[in-house]
Amino acid sequence: MAFSYNYVLASGVVGWAAAQVIKTLLYTFTRHTFKAERLVGSGGMPSSHSSLVTAALVATGIHNGVESTEFALAFILAMIVMYDAMGVRRAAGLHAQEINRMNRLFDFKFKDLIDTESEESSKKRKELKEFLGHNPLEVFVGAVLGVIIALVMPR
């Protein structure tokens, strides 16, 4: 019995995994610290969302043809995901950065005025997640990675 697998699904998953590993390595080299969350987290270079949907898009085109309904649906999905990564999710990440900055500034400036109960609550305050979206370059590099993955995956 010959081994068979879903080429489109495998391309997308491998595209996502490759981007996550690259993202983690880049984070580790630039920040000189390993953060396991980067292996599954969103945001950063390259966009794993873009890599996943682009790999699935290209694999769908190869497997079903670019005139197929499946390709059309994969294209629409890829455009929505990449647009959202650069738009709403990026804006949410920028907002989180600013809110975290303001919270740190508030805690520093008013530390003498904060009573013990408030001080405890400010220590317990979790920082908002800042890695959410992507700039256009991160999305582009993720998309290029997705194309490469789909082209080198065995059919």
6: left (phi over 0), alpha (psi -120 to 50) or beta: beta
Same-domain check for residues 14 and 66: yes
Give the pLDDT confidence of 2-35 residue by residue, as tens digits.
Answer: 678 999 999 999 999 999 999 999 999 999 999 8
Domain count, the chain: 2
What local confidence, expressed as pLDDT, does residue 4 receive? Answer: 81
* Residue 38 to residue 23: CA distance in whole angstroms: 7
What would the pLDDT profile of 40-66 be if each residue is shown by its tens digit? 887 788 999 999 999 999 999 999 999
Rounded to whole angstroms, how far apart are CA atoms 53 and 130?
23
Instruction: Check whether residue 100 and residue 141 sit in a common domain.
Output: no
Q: What is the DSSP string of 21-33?
A: HHHHHHHHHHHTS
Residues 69 and 108 grouped into a single domain: no
> What distance in Å separates the CA atoms of residue 89 and residue 59, rounded to the nearest whole number?
26
Residue-range definition of the domain harbouring residue 70:
1-81+135-155
Asked if 46 and 100 sit in the same domain, the reply is no
Full-model pTM? 0.74
The mean per-residue pLDDT over the stretch 87-103 comes to: 72
